[in-house]
Structure 1
C-alpha cells in the first residue's frame, strides 16, 4: 500500500510537580517507627522517577519506558504507603480542566491514562509496510485498550472527564477497532482468502458504525474533535464497501454470479460514499493541526478511498458484462442478500500481561523501598522460613541416617581393607603384608617424634626442685648467722651494745622462706607422681617417639607374635602364635581367580558408592544454599491485599526445591543398593575354604594389634597428662625462682647493712672502753673492783617469766650457776663509773616488785644511728595458681597437687625517723629451718630497753632522773670517788633522728605471752654520767643482772 490508513491517538494528560518527601517521611516516622533520614535517598529516587515520567521525553519509546517504571514503583509504594496523602494536580486530556486530589489511586489512574496515550501514539506512528512495524502497531493498539480497561475496572469514581467510564469505553472500542484494522491489513498483505477478509471488514464496519453513533454525543459536548467523527464515518463506509467487495469475489468464485453482481453494486455505492466523506475530512483538517492524527491523515484516507472506489467500479462493470453475456443469472434484491459473517475483533492486552514481561520487569528495577518491610510481611516471611527449615531438617536427617548405615555396613564388612587383603591373598604375597595402624595412633607418633625428650624434662624438674630447696636453706642460714653474730656482740658488749635484735625485722623473711619451703615440699609429691607415671609408660613411649615407620614395623611384629610386649588373650598361648606362622595353606588356581574377580567387583562398587555419597553431599549443599538465598518478602508484599493466600503461595514456592529432594532420594536408594551388593560379595568370598582358613589367623592378628593399639593410645593420653604436668611444674619453679631472686637480693642487702652497723658499733664501744680505762686508772688507781656475784643458771634467768599468764609468779630457788648475762662482776674501767654495790638477794617469800626501768647510757661515736636503710616495703603478694593436675587426673593414688608459690617478703612499714619497727608485745621469733643450720641457737636476748623516739638530740642534755638507792643488808656501798674537773663528759652527738627500739622477742621457737615490766622511766640522755656501779640492779621479769 502506498498509503497506510491513519490511526487516531489519545490526547495526553499533563500535570505539575508533586512533593513526595514530606508525606513519606511522616509515614515512615509514625507508621514504621524508623528514622526518615535513613530513607532520604529512596525518597529522592522516587521524586526523580515521577519527574522523568510525566515531563515527557524526546521519543514515545523513552516516555513509555519511564511510565512503565514509575507505575510499577507506584504499585510497590502503595503496598507500604496505602494511606499516604500527596497533592496531585492533573489537567484533563480533552477539556484541559485542572483536577487536584490527594488520593494515590488518582495518581495511578492518571499515569495509566497517560501511558495509554503514549502507546496509541506509538501505534499510530509505526510504519506498517514491514511486518515488524505492523506487529508493533497491533500490540500497542491492544495494549492501549488493556490500559484503559484497567481504569474502568479499578477506578469507579472518575474525578475528570477523560477518566469517566463512557469516555474511556469509547477509547477502548476505538483502540480495538484500530487493532482489528491493522490485523485486516496484515490479511490483505498476506493475500488471505476473500471470505476471511470480508468477515474482518464487516466486523470493522460494524465497530466503526457503533463508534460513530457513540462519539456524536460527546462531540457536541466538546469532548472529542469533529475530525475524529468524520474519519470514523469514512472508515465505516470504506470497510463496509471492502466487506461487500470481498464477499462478491467469493460469491463469483462459487458460481453465484447474480448475488456477486448485487454485492458489487453495493460495494460501489459504499466506496463512493467513503470517498465523499474522506474528501470532506481532508478539506476540514489542516495538516499537523491535530496532534492526535498523523500529519497526512486527510491525504491518506482520500487516496485509499479513491483507489478502492476505482477497483470496485471496474470489477462491477466486468461482472455486469459477464452476467449479461455469459451467465444470465437473476439478480436477487439487496435486502434478501445473506448477511456477511463477522470475525471476532482483537482482544486487549491486560496490564498484568504487560508487566509480567521480562523486559518491563527489567525496566521497573528493584523496589525503591525494599528495606522498608511491613511487620505483617515479616511475620509471613518467618512462617515461610520455618517451612523451609522443616524441609532442610528432614533432608539432613535422611542423609545423616544413610551415611551412618553405610559406614556401619562398611566397617562390619571390613571394607575397603578386605579388598586389598583379597588381592594379596590371590597373589600369594600376604605373608609380609603391612598391618593397618589407626590414623589416630600414627598422628600421635608423628607428634611425639617432633616433640622434645620428656625424660630430660622429668630430670630437669627434679634438679630444679632440689636447687630451689638448697637456695632457700642458704637464705635461712644467712639470717641465722647474722642473728647469732648480733647476740654474741650483745652478750659481749652489753649494755653499751644498742643494735636491736634482728628477729622482728627478719620475721617476714623467715615467713616467706618457710612458706616457699612448704610449697616446694608439697610440689615434690606431684613431681614424684609425674616421675612414677612417666616410668610406667616409658617403654610404650619409646615405640611412639620412634615415629610412624617404627610404629608400623612394631605393629607387624605384634601381629606375627614376635614381640614380648604382647600379652596373649585369655585362653591363648604364645605357642599358638608360632604354630600360626607355619599354617599358611595356598589357594588353588580356581579359588585365586574367583578371589581376584570378587576383589575387582567389590572395588568397582566401592568407587561407585564413593561417587554416590559425594554427589549426595553436593546436592544437599546446593539445597541448603538455595533455601538460604530464597526470599519471598517481595512476593508476600505483592499479595498482601489477598486473604488466605499464604498456604497456596508457600506450597507453590516450596515446589522449587522438589528437584533437589528427588535427587537426594535417588542417591540414598543407590547407596543402599550398593551396600547390599557389597555385603553379598563379602559373604560369597568368606564361604571359600582357603579364605576361611586364612581369615581365622587374620582375626587373631587383628585382635592382638587392636589390643596393642589401645595400650599405646592409653600411653599417649597419659603422656599428654605428664606433659601438661611438667609444663605446670616448670612454670611453678620459674615463678618461685623469681620470688627467691627478689628475696635473696633483699636479704643480702639487709645482712650487709646489719653487719656494717654492728661492726661500727662494736668498734665505737671498744674505743670508748679503752678511753674510759685510761681515765679511770689516772683518777682512782687504787679503786678495787666490786665483788663478783654468785653465778646463776639460765633457768634462774628465765625463772621469772610467766609462760601461762601476764602476771609474774614467784621464781624457784636460784641455782648456783652464774648468770652468763650478769655483767656486774666485770670490771670495766671508766671515768664515769663508781664501785658497784652487791646485788640484793632474792626473797624466798615474795618476789620484789620491779622498780622503774633505768636507761642505759650511750656514748657518742660520731653517728650512732643505723647506717643501713630501713627494710624495703612489702612487695605485692605473688599469686601462683597451682597448674598441676589433681590426683584424679593421673590415677587413683593419693597425690598432693602443686601448691601456689609463697608470696614475696613482706616488711613492716617504716617511718622517716625509725628504721626498725617496734615489735608487738609477746611476739616470738619464728623457728628457723631445723634442717639447715649447723650452728647452735643464739643465746637469749638481754633485757628489753626503751629508747626515746625524738626528732633529734638536744644540744644540752637534761640531768638524769634520780635513781632510787636500794640498801642491802650487811653491806654499805663505798662513797663515790671524787670527780676531776678537768674531765668533762662526752659532748652530746649532733642532732639526729632518735631511734626507738622495741622490746626484743622471746626465745626462738617459744611463743610467750606479753612480759610485764616495771613502770617506764624517763629515757637516759646522752652526755649524762652513767649509772654508778654498786647501785642495785633493776629487776626485769625475775632476772637479776
Structure 2
C-alpha cells in the first residue's frame, strides 16, 4: 500500500476585497489628540501600513503571499493596541461563498478576514503539493496544521459574526486536521511502519473526518451553498476509503499474530468499505485520480484476501469470526494546530508604529521591573545564605590543608634546578677549593705582614745600635713611623678577616652534608626525603578519593551557582516587555506571571543547586571524618618533607652565598695584599737607604777620630 496514488485534498478559496482603505485621517487625528505628537511625522508609517494591506489583500498563492498576510495580521494587532478599533474606518469584504457584501465598522472584522485568508491559503498550498516525496508530505502536513490553528483562532475571535458561521469554521478546522493526519498516514505507509501503528493513524483520519462531517451536516441545514455537497461527498468517500485502509492493516497485524481466521474477516471488511468508497467516488470530481487510487488499493486488498482464503482453506482451517466480534482500534492523533506569534519579528517584521508607546505600557513596564527585582532579591538572598553557610563550613573543616594531589613525592622545580646547578659545578670539590683558596690567601698575607714587621724591627734595631755607636740620639723617622702605622692597620684588617674566614668555614661545614646530598642523583635524593608513598591503605585511598570527589562537587556547585546567578541577573536585566505590553494590557498581573515564567527554568536550576548543598556537605563531613586519622598522618609526613626540602634549599642558597663571600674574600685579600706589598717594598727601600746612610756616617766619624778604629761594615 506504500505506493498507492495520493488522493486529492480539499482547499478553500480566499476572500477578496474591492475597496481600498485610507488609514491616514483617523490615525493622524488620534496621534495628535492622544499622543500629542506631530501626526505628519508618521506619514511614512501610515504609507507603509497601507502598502502592506495592499500586499496582503492581493497576496500571491505561495509562501511569500502567506508571509504578507501574516505580517499584515500582526501589524493590525500592533495597531489596535495603540488605536481603539472604533477610531479606525470601516472595512468592506466580499464573501468567497455567496458573493454577497458584508460591512463592519470594527477593524476586528478586517483582522478576521485576514486570518481567514491565512488559513485558506495554507489549505491551498497544502493541497497543491503532490506529496510524492517525504519533504512534500511534511510540507503539506505543516500547511494543514497551520490552517487548523488559524481556523480555530478565527472561530474564537469571530463569535459567529458576519459570514463566519461557527459550524463552517469548525468544519474547516477538523478538515484541516484530518488532512494533516492523512499526510502522516501516507508517510507511515511509505516508511513501512508496523501494521498496528498504521491502523491507528488511519483510524484517527476517520475520526477527524467523522467530526468534520458532523459539523458539515449541521452547517448544510442552515446554508444553501452548493459547495457543501461536494465537501460532504469528499468526507463520505474518505471515511469509507480510510476505514478500508484501517481494516487492511488490522488484517496484516492479525497475520503477524498468526490469527489466520481473524485476518480474513478484516480483509473482507476492508473490501466492503472499498466498494462503498467506489460508489461514492462516481459522483465526485477528479474521478481519474481517485479511480487510480481505488484500483491500486483494490488489487492489493483483494489479492491479500484471496491468498488468505486459500491458505485458510488448505492449511489453517480456522473459523472466520463475525466482524462484530473483531477488536476495535483506537485512533492515534499525531497532529495539532501550529501557531505563529503575533510579536515574532521574523513573522511580523518591525513594528511599524514602534515610536508610539502608550503611557499605560510604560507604567506597566515599571511594575514588571519591580516584579523582576523582587524575584532577583529573593533568589540572591537565598544564594547569599547558602554561600555564607558553605564558607563557614569549609573554614571549620580546614580542608584547604587536605592533600589531594596524586604526585605527592614529586620534587619542586626549584629543588630540581638546585640539584642540576650543584651537579654542573661539582659542589663538593668546589667547597674544598674555596676552603683551600681562602686559607692560602690568609697564610700568604700573614707571611708578608710578618716579613714587613721583621724589616721594621730590623730597621729600628739598626738605628738604635747606630745611635749608641756615635753617641747621639736621633728622632724617629717619620717615614718609618708612617709605614709601621700602615702595617699595623693592615694586620688588624687581616686578623679581623680571620673571623670572617672562620664563619665561612663554619657555614661550609654546616651545609656540607646537605650539599653533598643535593649533588647526588635525583632518585637518591628522593629516597632520602620523608615520603607519603605507601602510608595509605587501599581503604584509606578510596576514602580520600571520595573526599576529593565531594570537594570537586562543592567547587562545581559553587561555579555553577555563580554562573547561573549571573545568567539569571542578565536575563532579567535584558527582559524588556514594553513592546509586548502594548499588545497585552487587559490583565497585567496574569501577563507578568506568564512573562516571569520564562525565567522559571533558571530559577529552578538555582534552587536545585542550593538544595543539593546540604546533601553534599553531609556526605563530605562523613567521608572527611573517616579519613581523619590518615589525614593527620599524611599532613605530618608532608610537613616533615616540606621542612627537609626547605632545609635543602636553604643549604643551596647558603652555598650560592658562600661562593659570593669567597669571591668577596678573594677580592679583599687581593687588595690587602697589594697594600701590604707596597708597605713591604717601601720599608725595604727605606731600610736599605738608612743602612747606606749609617755606614757613610760611621766611616766619616772614624776618619775624624784618627782612623785607628776598625769598623765592621
Per the shorter chain, which TM-score range?
A: 0.5 to 0.7
Partner of 2:582: 637
Query: Which residue among 68, 72, 75 is the counterpart of 1:73?
Result: 75
Query: Which residue among 35, 38, 53 is the counterpart of 1:35?
Result: 38
Q: Deviations over 1:961-989 (max 9, x none)?
A: xxxxxxxxxxxxxxxxxxxxxxxxxxxxx
The answer (yes or no) to whether the contact 1:259–1:331 under 8 Å persists in 2 is yes
How far the C-alpha of 1:225 sits from its partner, in A, is 4.2
5 Å-filtered alignment, 1:3-18, equals: 3-15=5-17, 16-18=19-21
Partner of 2:149: 146
Partner of 1:271: 274
The answer (yes or no) to whether the contact 2:341–2:347 under 8 Å persists in 1 is no
The answer (yes or no) to whether the contact 2:207–2:331 under 8 Å persists in 1 is no
Partner of 1:183: 184
Taking structure 1 as reference, are residues 317 and 620 closer, same or farther at Cα in structure 2, changes over 3 Å only? closer
Partner of 1:230: 233
How far the C-alpha of 1:217 sits from its partner, in A, is 5.3
Taking structure 1 as reference, are residues 177 and 377 closer, same or farther at Cα in structure 2, changes over 3 Å only? same
Q: Deviations over 1:611-659 (max 9, x none)?
A: xxxxxxxx99999999987643213223322232476478568899999
How far the C-alpha of 1:339 sits from its partner, in A, is 4.0
How far the C-alpha of 1:259 sits from its partner, in A, is 2.1
Separation of aligned partners in 2, 1:656 and 1:207:
36
Q: Deviations over 1:188-216 (max 9, x none)?
A: 00111112222222332343345345434
Separation of aligned partners in 2, 1:211 and 1:392:
50
Partner of 1:911: none
The answer (yes or no) to whether the contact 2:21–2:91 under 8 Å persists in 1 is yes
Taking structure 1 as reference, are residues 152 and 623 closer, same or farther at Cα in structure 2, changes over 3 Å only? closer
Q: Deviations over 1:487-523 (max 9, x none)?
A: xxxxxxxxxxxxxxxxxxxxxxxxxxxxxxxxxxxxx
Query: Which residue among 260, 266, 270 is the counterpart of 1:257?
Result: 260
Taking structure 1 as reference, are residues 262 and 622 closer, same or farther at Cα in structure 2, changes over 3 Å only? closer
Partner of 2:173: 172
Taking structure 1 as reference, are residues 648 and 242 closer, same or farther at Cα in structure 2, changes over 3 Å only? closer
The answer (yes or no) to whether the contact 2:167–2:215 under 8 Å persists in 1 is no
Partner of 1:323: 312
RMSD after superposition: 4.4
5 Å-filtered alignment, 1:337-486, equals: 337-351=325-339, 354-355=340-341, 361-383=345-367
Separation of aligned partners in 2, 1:331 and 1:620:
69
Separation of aligned partners in 1, 2:325 and 2:601:
60
Between structure 1 and structure 2, the one with the greater Rg is 1
Partner of 1:92: 95
Q: Does 1:298 align with 2:287?
A: yes
5 Å-filtered alignment, 1:743-782, equals: none
5 Å-filtered alignment, 1:508-907, equals: 631-645=576-590, 648=593
Query: Which residue among 127, 131, 135 is the counterpart of 1:132?
Result: 135
Partner of 1:309: 298
Taking structure 1 as reference, are residues 363 and 648 closer, same or farther at Cα in structure 2, changes over 3 Å only? closer
Separation of aligned partners in 2, 1:350 and 1:645:
24
Partner of 1:333: 322
The answer (yes or no) to whether the contact 2:203–2:332 under 8 Å persists in 1 is no
TM-score by length of 1: 0.38
Partner of 2:406: none
Describe the SS at the equivalent of 1:12. coil
The answer (yes or no) to whether the contact 2:568–2:602 under 8 Å persists in 1 is yes
Q: Which runs of 5+ in 2 are unaligned?
A: 381-502, 512-563, 608-713
Partner of 1:443: none
- Name the structure with the higher helix share: 2
Separation of aligned partners in 2, 1:646 and 1:23:
30
Describe the SS at the equivalent of 1:99. strand
How far the C-alpha of 1:80 sits from its partner, in A, is 0.9
Taking structure 1 as reference, are residues 108 and 391 closer, same or farther at Cα in structure 2, changes over 3 Å only? closer
The answer (yes or no) to whether the contact 1:218–1:224 under 8 Å persists in 2 is no
Partner of 2:201: 200
Equivalenced residue count is: 437
Separation of aligned partners in 1, 2:173 and 2:34:
40
The answer (yes or no) to whether the contact 2:92–2:101 under 8 Å persists in 1 is yes
The answer (yes or no) to whether the contact 2:237–2:277 under 8 Å persists in 1 is yes
The answer (yes or no) to whether the contact 2:53–2:72 under 8 Å persists in 1 is yes
Partner of 2:118: 115
Describe the SS at the equivalent of 1:89. strand
Separation of aligned partners in 1, 2:197 and 2:360:
55
Taking structure 1 as reference, are residues 378 and 212 closer, same or farther at Cα in structure 2, changes over 3 Å only? closer
Separation of aligned partners in 1, 2:304 and 2:4:
21
Separation of aligned partners in 1, 2:201 and 2:371:
54
Describe the SS at the equivalent of 1:90. strand
The answer (yes or no) to whether the contact 2:365–2:581 under 8 Å persists in 1 is yes
Partner of 2:62: 60
Partner of 1:731: none
Q: Deviations over 1:931-961 (max 9, x none)?
A: xxxxxxxxxxxxxxxxxxxxxxxxxxxxxxx
Describe the SS at the equivalent of 1:355. coil
Separation of aligned partners in 2, 1:366 and 1:67:
15
Higher mean displacement: 234-243 or 643-652: 643-652
Q: Which runs of 5+ in 1 are unaligned?
A: 286-296, 396-584, 591-618, 663-1041
5 Å-filtered alignment, 1:884-1033, equals: none
The answer (yes or no) to whether the contact 1:202–1:340 under 8 Å persists in 2 is no
Separation of aligned partners in 2, 1:247 and 1:390:
59
